[in-house]
Amino acid sequence: MELGPRVHQQDGQGEASEQQAAPSDAPVSLAHEISALWGEYLDGREVGADDDFFALGGNSLIGIKIIDRVCRDYGVELSVRDFYVAQTPARVAELIVQGRPRT
């Protein structure tokens, strides 16, 4: 059973490792970036940080596209389940922060 986001190494070396980070608040700027990203896939509509994915008209195909984009742009692989449970850009941003490697 997959728990939480996984980090993909950008250099392609090795397997992605699971991160066990304590919940943290994502920066507001990251939540706004994720909101804008969602807007791109939701017909250009305005998306707020606390807007619900499904209430905005999101569906499974759009969700998969956003998950793929998050992986490419942020190096964090979200499970479909985590994405759907998160439901808002702010919560997805928190998952991204949790999945990033600590330095």
Q: pLDDT (tens digit, 9 = 90+) per residue, 27-52?
A: 899 999 999 999 999 999 999 999 99
Asked if pLDDT for residue 92 goes beyond 80, the answer is: yes
Q: pLDDT (tens digit, 9 = 90+) per residue, 59-68?
A: 999 999 999 9
Name the average pLDDT for the chain. 82
Distance between CA atoms of 37 and 54, rounded to whole angstroms?
15
Question: What predicted TM-score, i.e. pTM, was given to this entire model?
Answer: 0.74
* Contact (Cβ atoms closer than 8 angstroms) between residue 39 and residue 58: no
Q: How confident is the model at residue 74 (pLDDT cuts 50, 70, 90)?
A: very high
Between 39 and 6, name the one with better pLDDT.
39
Which DSSP state fits 103?
-
Distance between CA atoms of 26 and 35, rounded to whole angstroms?
13
